A and B are shown apart, each in its own frame.
Chain A
Amino acid sequence: MTQPALESMYQEIILDHYKHPHHKGLQDVYDAEVHHVNPTCGDEITLRVRVHDGVVDEVTYDGQGCSISQASASVMTELVTGRRVDDALAVQEEFLVLMQGRGQVEPDEESLEDAVAFAGVAKYPARVKCALLGWMAWKDATAQAVGDGGATAKAVADEGTRS
């Protein structure tokens, strides 16, 4: 029963973000708000986005759930805030590929930063949705904020269930 094995997936980064989440607490001024749930485990998130001049100005959220879902949302807010929407979507896509890679994808720390801590999650199909919850909520909210509402939101929801 070795310590590293036990903590292979629960790195300090994840526990840190879980215990001390960033951007948690909803801001009053926002362009779009979404509420996403993971019905198999009851994880949920309400997320608000403000987009200004094609830049993700602010992302705040409130939610409850496992450390993977909550820490992943916290890490996500750090990664997308202040980026151009296109760049942020590219990071989101990179994280999605990592999560859907069944543990075979080598993460790029340069672009994913703290999100590389979730690489181990990809080996556990039941937890992939937890890690993606905040990211999918952000993508959905951002799509609504930049104005191509319904169809995109639906496509995002489908993507979220594919894992």
Chain B
Amino acid sequence: MSYDVERVRKDFPILQREIHGHPLVYLDSANSAQKPQVVIDAEADLYAHHYANVARAVHTLGSEATNAYESARDTVARFLRAPSRDEVVFTKNISEALNLLAYSFSNATTTPGAERFRIGPGDEIVVTEMEHHSNLVPWQLLAERTGATFRWIPLDDDGRLVTAAIDEVINERTKIVSFVYQSNALGTINPVARITARAREVGALSIVDAAQAAPHLPLDVQAMGADFVAFTGHKVYGPTGVGVLWGRYDLLAAMPPFLGGGEMIETVDMSETTFAPPPHRFEAGTPAIAQVVALAAAIDWLEGIGLPEIGRHEHELVEHALEVLPTVEGLHIVGPKTAEDRGATISFVLDGVHPHDVAQLLDEQGIAVRAGHHCARPVCVRYGVSATTRASFGAYTTIAEIDSLVMGLTRVGEMFRR
């Protein structure tokens, strides 16, 4: 059966909106995806009928909320093909998930039994040149705190990793390899298994930033071969305020905590505290209960449509966009020019028009895109541009919307040229 994008669109109330008198054309899903009604309802339903704090209360509502929260962990474990639900840690977002790792590794310096996470002078931390700041700054900071060397796998002229550099940059001094699955700025999909295999070969920990990949590609943490994988709820059609860190249980069990607080302890006395096993060790304080429950609803919705089906639909959108966008006078794509190993995110520049002007003028035509450096400034530096305009697609994006973008861009170009 072919993909019924009109049926998918009916699930999203916001797609009925008009912007400046035009139907909304939402091409900013890589920034944050819109929410289907089932996700909005799931959050409201918890508050309306089942809400109390989790894991502490013995009353009925507390049990219902706890069951809903912990069932969401099962849903996420299934979504990730995780061997165990206890490997799923809920965080505030993916930035927190990645910082959790970086700070836990810092804390390992003084924690007995956590020697394998210790990092110091002579050790190397590896990222790629296409990282989002969320997966760059925490590691830069960790390198500064520990005296380790910060390195990266460079980009080629086409917006892909220089694969020949992987074996050199990741070497026997490497302790951590943290890299993005799909680039938010370029759309590039990286060879995950190739990189994690090299990390394993040299005994380094591997971490995959799957924020952009999660809404487009089925994630299988075992096939990816990584030690840790993180993603965020709001990009997979779920709510804001919740992210996920998956980690191999033996590693999580040996890691010191990141934040101290309620519900992450085993016993506490005034001189010493021992900690709960994973995942609760890493979930200090009252979590984003309603958002976690709504995230599970988003995953159920995604799986109901089917990630392979969504992936195929988006691939068609990318093929079409790569064909029609270059017909706009003065438009240059920044990133891979072909659709293979490429996600539904396309950055470009328009000669003589700053991306912020492009985005503003498109907005006046009802078209929402992002402009700027997309929290991946080194990518802009690499390609010699101060910023780009980015159109990104989702399950609800149509071919007609991409054609509207092309028309809109043509008008913008004409306005600035005349």
> Shortest CB–CB separation between residue A88 and chain B, in angstroms?
27
Q: Please determine whether A68 and B416 come into contact, CB atoms closer than 8 angstroms.
A: no
Interface size class of A (residues with CB under 8 A): 20 to 34
Say yes or no for B361: interface residue by CB 8 A criterion.
Answer: yes
Q: What number of A-B contacts does a CB cutoff of 8 Å give?
A: 51
Task: Tell which of B158-166, B210-218, B278-286, B365-373 binds the partner.
Answer: B365-373
When distances are taken between beta carbons in the complex, the residues of chain B under 8 Å from A29 are none
Shortest Cβ distance from A132 into chain B, in angstroms? 14
List the B residue with the shortest CB-CB distance to A7: B415
Determine if A101 is an interface residue (Cβ-Cβ < 8 Å).
no
Q: What is the minimal beta-carbon distance from B148 to any residue of chain A, in angstroms?
A: 27
Tell me whether A8 is interfacial, beta carbon within 8 Å.
Answer: yes
Distance in angstroms from B376 CB to nearest chain A CB is 12
Given A41-B356, A65-B354, A130-B356, are A5 and B20 neighbors across the interface (CB < 8 Å)? yes
A8 and B364 within 8 A (CB): yes
Tell me whether A10 and B356 are in contact in the complex, defined as CB-CB below 8 angstroms, given that A15-B416, A40-B372, A41-B372 are known contacts: no
Instruction: Give the CA-CA distance A1 to B412 in the complex, in Å.
Output: 13
Interface residues as binary, B357-382 with A (CB distance below 8 Å gives 1, 0 otherwise): 10011001100000111000100100
Q: Does B304 sit within 8 A of A, measured CB to CB?
A: no
**8 Å CB contacts to A: which residues of B339-357?**
353-357
* B320 CB within 8 Å of chain A: no
Majority secondary structure of chain A interface residues (helix, strand, loop or mixed): loop
**Does residue B387 face the partner (Cβ distance < 8 Å to A)?**
yes
Distance of A9 Cα from B361 Cα, bound (Å): 9
Which of B22, B357, B387 interacts with A67 by CB under 8 Å? B357
Size band of the interface chain B makes with A: 20 to 34
CB distance B387 to A41 under 8 Å?
yes
CA distance A7 to B364 in the complex (A): 8
Q: Say yes or no: B386 contacts A10, CB within 8 Å.
A: no
Say if the beta carbon of B21 comes within 8 Å of chain A: yes
Q: Do the beta carbons of B364 and A42 come within 8 Å of each other?
A: no
Interface residues of A in 62-78 (CB under 8 A from B): 64-68
CB <8 Å contact, B360 and A127: yes
Contact assessment for B365 and A6 in the assembled complex, using a CB-CB cutoff below 8 Å: yes
What separation, in Å, do the CA atoms of A65 and B389 have in the docked complex?
13
Contact indicator A41/B371 (Cβ below 8 Å)? yes
Interface centre among B357, B364, B372, B415 (most CB of A within 10 A): B357
Closest 3 CB pairs of A and B: A66-B354, A66-B356, A42-B386
Given contacts A1-B365, A42-B386, 16 further A-B contacts (CB under 8 A): A5-B21, A5-B364, A6-B411, A6-B415, A41-B355, A41-B356, A41-B387, A42-B373, A42-B377, A42-B380, A43-B356, A64-B386, A65-B356, A66-B356, A66-B357, A67-B353
